[in-house]
Amino acid sequence: MSLPTDPGCYLMKDSRDTIIYVGKAKNLKNRVSSYFSGAHDLKTTQMVSNVVDFDIIVTGTEKESLILEINLIKKHRPRFNILFMDDKSYPYLKLNKEGIPSVSVSRDKKQKPNFYYFGPYPNAGAARKMAELLNEVLPTDSGFLPNKQKIYAKFNRTELSFTDEEIDMWRQNLMRVLKGNDVEFRKALIDKMEDASSNLNFEVAQGYKDRLEALDYVSDQQQVQFNVNESFDMFNYATHQDYIAIVGLFVRSGKLIEKTMTVEATLETFEDAFVSFLAQFYDTQPMAKEVYVPKDIMTEDLNLILNTEVKHAYRGKKAKLMEIGKRNGVLKLEDQFDVLLRRDNQIQEGLTQLETELNIKPLSRIEVFDNSHISGKFAVSACVVFDDGKPNKDLYRRYRLSTGADDLASMKEVIYRRYFRLMREGRKYPDLVIVDGGIHQLNAAQEVLRDLEINIPVVSLVKDENHRTRGLLLNEDESWLLSTQDPAYPLLVGMQDEVHRFVIAYHRQLRSKSMTRSILEEVEGLGAVGRKKLYNKFGSLKNMRAASVEDLAEVVPLKVAKNVSMILNIDWKTQNEN
The answer to whether residue 149 scores a pLDDT higher than 60 is no
The enclosing domain of 564 has a CATH number of 1.10.150.20
Query: Cα separation of 307 and 282, whole Å?
Result: 10
Same domain, 546 and 502: no
For residue 360, being part of any structural domain is answered with no
Cβ atoms of 330 and 238 closer than 8 Å: yes
Q: 3-class SS at 108?
A: coil
Euclidean distance between the first and final Cα of the chain, in Å?
75
Cβ atoms of 221 and 206 closer than 8 Å: no
Strands (DSSP E) contained in 414-536 are 432-436, 458-463, 469-475, 478-481
Same domain, 258 and 302: yes
Q: Can you give the residue range of the structural domain that contains 253? A: 232-336
Same domain, 319 and 423: no
Q: Say if residue 481 is exposed, middle or buried (CB neighbours under 10 Å; 0-12, 13-18, 19+).
A: exposed
Name the amino acid, one letter, at 304.
L
* Torsion over CA: 279, 280, 283, 285 (sign): negative
For residue 200, being part of any structural domain is answered with yes
For residue 388, being part of any structural domain is answered with yes
Phi, psi values for residue 429, rounded to 5°: -85, 155
Report how many domains make up the chain. 5
The answer to whether residue 301 scores a pLDDT higher than 60 is yes
Same domain, 432 and 308: no
Mind listing the pLDDT tens digit for each residue in 198-232?
A: 887 787 788 777 767 766 655 544 445 566 578 89
Mind listing the pLDDT tens digit for each residue in 422-480?
A: 999 888 899 999 998 889 999 999 999 999 999 999 999 888 777 778 889 998 888 89
Task: Give the whole-number percent of the chain exceeding pLDDT 90.
Answer: 22
Query: Cα separation of 352 and 359, whole Å?
Result: 10
The answer to whether residue 74 scores a pLDDT higher than 50 is yes
Helical axes 164-178 vs 124-136, angle rounded to 10°: 150
The enclosing domain of 65 has a CATH number of 3.40.1440.10
The answer to whether residue 60 scores a pLDDT higher than 60 is yes
For residue 136, being part of any structural domain is answered with yes
Name the amino acid, one letter, at 463.
K
Mind listing the pLDDT tens digit for each residue in 538-562?
A: 877 778 888 888 889 988 999 898 8
For residue 396, being part of any structural domain is answered with yes
For residue 57, being part of any structural domain is answered with yes
Cβ atoms of 210 and 216 closer than 8 Å: no
Same domain, 408 and 459: yes
Q: For residue 71, which of 220, 280, 263 has the smallest C-alpha distance?
A: 280
DSSP string, 489-509: HHHHHHHHHHHHHHHHHHHHH
220-242 burial, b for 16+ CB within 10 Å, e for fewer?
A: ebbeeebeeebbbbbbbbbbbeb
Cβ atoms of 436 and 499 closer than 8 Å: yes
Same domain, 549 and 491: no
**In terms of pTM, does the model score above 0.75?**
no
For residue 517, being part of any structural domain is answered with no
Task: Give the whole-number percent of the chain exceeding pLDDT 70.
Answer: 84
For residue 485, being part of any structural domain is answered with yes
Query: Cα separation of 151 and 172, whole Å?
Result: 17
Same domain, 187 and 240: no
